């Protein structure tokens, strides 16, 4: 379509899904045990993943075999339908080993929650083909949707296609022009990954291993049943809550996304604290006569980093639980709570970034050698924290406006 270099994708063959009886037998404890057993493999291939600009095939196939991607697939369609705390536990275990791989895996698992917002017949059909989906959900800039018989023709080029390198499906936000008298309608469109092009654009200083390349579609037909309007899902009033009797699927969308995207920051900060702890017993500053482990200043710095990441994790867990209750509020009441939750998660991500910076500041210039994993954590978390939902100026301004009774000045609520 564009003539640009195409990305070297890994579209799944679809022959490696777990037997239904194995999925049914998985418990939260067993899933976490499986993921923790993969941590040495994930960590050992993090540098290669960064070089490839995507998770390695060995790591990705191991994650598929673990059962992790079934975590938010509803039970009525053969999934695990586990609670947010289990999702957080298992995701953090991946993120501590490699935040970039964790970012990719966490979105891949969570986007099955988005599939639960489509019509029930569509869910049955899609999960009947692929017992879980690996699909990017791309929003910016939105594509153009033109209504035709039976659905829409969509065209566009979307950025930040996280998980597209191993995707079997894609979700594409597209905007339908309703005429001058009405605002446009934004819908999430679902199509097979083979129907789009993926352009090799992801050359980043951090989070390189996520492979979040551009996605292009031209006059692509999307049936009505493979599109849902985003507005009701923002408040948790989409099809998810109508089809599935679990508050998970009627939670508002943006806080759900914020939790997902925040977990790699917590994983990066936890890994940084561990590496800094190990380094203190080995590192002697030039001119010094003892290792840093004996220095009160180094001990205090390490303690501050540890407390920042611990408090950030608690805040994110509480946000995930709280989001499950927001559907019961009126739209006006819920708006203020969604804005607050976004701000407090952004604050938690900022704490994680500061924890990593604190660990780096105490560790000497040697940590910036490309062979040292701490420098990769520092680069990854700086890029993660730049995500728009974690922009502290935007999120705290929104929260402050809400506190004094002013309307939001951003559509991301």
Q: Which of 75, 99, 129 is the last residue of a domain?
A: 129
User: Is residue 413 situated within a structural domain?
Assistant: no
In tens, the pLDDT along 269-279 reads 999 999 988 87
> 143 and 112, same structural domain?
no
Choose among 249, 246, 251: nearest CA to 338: 251
5 close to 60: Cβ distance less than 8 angstroms: no
Interval 5-64: pLDDT, tens: 999 999 999 999 999 999 999 999 999 999 999 999 999 999 999 999 999 999 999 999
**Domain extent for 80:** 20-129
Same domain, 87 and 141: no
- Cα of 136 vs its chain's centroid, Å: 10
Question: Tokens standing for 382?
Answer: 């700086």
Tell me, yes or no, whether 162 and 83 share the same domain.
no
Band (pLDDT 50/70/90 cuts) for residue 288 is: low
**Domain tally for the chain?**
3
- The answer on 258 and 393 residing in a single domain is yes
CATH of the domain at 313: 1.20.140.10
What number is the average pLDDT over the span 389-402?
94
pLDDT, one tens digit per residue, over 215-270 is: 999 999 999 999 999 999 999 999 999 999 999 999 999 999 999 999 999 999 99
Residues 77 and 219 in one domain: no
Whether residues 225 and 261 share a domain: the answer is: no
Could you identify the residue written with the tokens 């153009």? Answer: 144
397 shares its domain with 338: yes
Task: Report DSSP state, residue 180.
Answer: T
Of 79, 102, 129, the last residue of a domain is 129
In a domain, 259, yes or no: yes
Tell me, yes or no, whether 388 and 282 share the same domain.
yes
Q: Say what the pTM is.
A: 0.95
Q: Are residues 141 and 165 in the same domain?
A: yes
Shared domain for 220 and 281, answered yes or no, is no
* 217 lies in some domain: yes
Write the DSSP assignment of 77-122 as a string of letters: GT-----HHHHHHHHHHHHHH-HHHHHHHHHHHHHHHHHTTS-HHH
């Amino acid at each position: 379509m564009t003539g640009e270099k195409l990305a070297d994708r890994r579209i799944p063959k679809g022959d490696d899904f777990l037997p239904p009886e194995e999925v049914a037998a998985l418990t939260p404890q067993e899933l976490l045990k499986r993921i923790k057993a993969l941590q040495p493999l994930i960590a050992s291939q993090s540098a290669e993943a960064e070089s490839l600009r995507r998770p390695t095939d060995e790591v990705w196939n191991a994650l598929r075999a673990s059962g992790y991607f079934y975590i938010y697939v509803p039970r009525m369609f053969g999934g695990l339908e586990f609670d947010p705390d289990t999702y957080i536990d298992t995701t953090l275990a991946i993120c501590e080993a490699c935040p970039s791989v964790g970012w990719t895996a966490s979105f891949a698992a969570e986007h099955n929650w988005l599939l639960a917002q489509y019509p029930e017949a569509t869910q049955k059909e899609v999960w009947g083909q692929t017992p879980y989906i690996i699909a990017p959900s791309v929003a910016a800039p939105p594509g153009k949707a033109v209504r035709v018989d039976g659905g829409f023709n969509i065209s566009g080029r979307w950025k930040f296609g996280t998980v597209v390198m191993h995707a079997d499906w894609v979700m594409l936000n597209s905007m339908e022009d309703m005429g001058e008298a009405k605002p446009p309608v934004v819908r999430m469109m679902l199509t097979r990954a083979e129907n789009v092009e993926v352009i090799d654009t992801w050359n980043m200083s951090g989070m390189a291993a996520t492979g979040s390349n551009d996605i292009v579609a031209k006059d692509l037909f999307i049936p009505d049943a493979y599109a849902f309007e985003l507005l009701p899902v923002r408040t948790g009033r989409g099809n998810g809550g109508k089809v599935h009797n679990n508050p998970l699927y009627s939670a508002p969308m943006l806080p759900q996304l914020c939790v997902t995207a925040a977990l790699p920051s917590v994983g990066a900060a936890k890994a940084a604290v561990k590496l800094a702890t190990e380094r203190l017993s080995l590192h002697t500053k030039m001119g010094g006569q003892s290792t840093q482990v004996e220095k009160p200043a180094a001990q205090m710095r390490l303690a501050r980093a540890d407390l920042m990441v611990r408090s950030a994790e608690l805040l994110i867990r509480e946000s995930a639980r709280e989001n499950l209750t927001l559907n019961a509020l009126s739209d006006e009441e819920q708006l203020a709570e969604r804005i607050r939750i976004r701000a407090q998660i952004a604050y938690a991500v900022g704490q994680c970034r500061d924890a990593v910076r604190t660990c780096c500041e105490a560790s000497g210039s040697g940590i910036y050698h490309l062979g040292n994993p701490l420098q990769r954590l520092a680069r990854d978390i700086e890029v993660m924290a730049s995500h728009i939902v974690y922009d502290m100026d935007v999120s705290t301004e929104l929260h402050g406006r809400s506190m004094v009774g002013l309307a939001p000045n951003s559509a991301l609520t």
